[in-house]
Amino acid sequence: MFSLENKIAVITGAGSGIGKAIATLFAQQGAVVHILDVDENGAAVAEEIKKSNGKAFFYICNVANQVDVKNNVEKIYKEHSRIDILVNNAGIAHIGTAENTAAEDFDRLINVNVKGVYNCLHAVIPYMKQSGGSVVNLASVAALVGLPDRFAYSTTKGAVLAMTLSVAKDFLQHNIRCNSISPGRVHTPFVDGYLAKNYPGKEAEMFEKLAKTQPIGRMGEPKEIAQLALYLCSDEASFITGCDYPIDGGFVKLNT
């Protein structure tokens, strides 16, 4: 079950965290993984996959730049003559309210988290229409509930959720499925960096506090998000489209 044997997968933001876990798992399941990331760490991830006998390729790509995305996607298509899977994982975070969020920060989040998803959809869908495929967008629980100090981030993830529904509706007849995943707090390098920057000397204490905001009592692991993405991109999920999946330790349903 859950084989992706010889599927051509494009995964953005796979240089670390959730994206890295998705790329690694997809390769283990037989996919030919193409990592698009603005960070050179993506090259190291591709090399790790190859050392484990997987197939992976890395492309420096700024998802906010439509020409950059189009050129890289075109290279992938020319190499394989199809694209079966797109995972829109690349994204950035921001802390602030509508009052104290600067215009430049708001624009930066829109460009990466919203326009970046659009750019990848815009580039991949014409190729995917030829033989069908699966799109998974990374949204967030921030799109589903009110979170303090997450104005711009919540705005962008709400847009990702809306785009998911729109794409699912528009391309049903082309056998393209589109779903989204809404993680709660997940233990990634971003979390460690955030704690080190904002709570020096109190990292362990604050980590525990953040972990306990999930009713299940801990943060998620990147591999757990990857496993859900694998299911949604596999043939076993062929009857699923236009759905969002909170994976959050009970945060949305048990805290409201």
Catalytic (active-site) positions: 153
Stretch (H or E) spanning 36: strand 32-37
State the maximum Cα–Cα separation within the chain, in Å, rounded to a whole number. 55
Q: How buried is 201 (Cβ within 10 angstroms: 0-12 exposed, 13-18 middle, 19+ buried)?
A: exposed
Q: What's the gap between Cα 166 and its chain centre?
A: 17
65 has which bridge partners?
none
Q: What's the gap between Cα 70 and its chain centre?
A: 18
SS3 107: helix
Residue 228 C-beta-side C-alpha neighbours within 13 Å: 21
Taking phi over 0 as left and psi of -120 to 50 as alpha, with beta for the rest, 201 belongs to: left
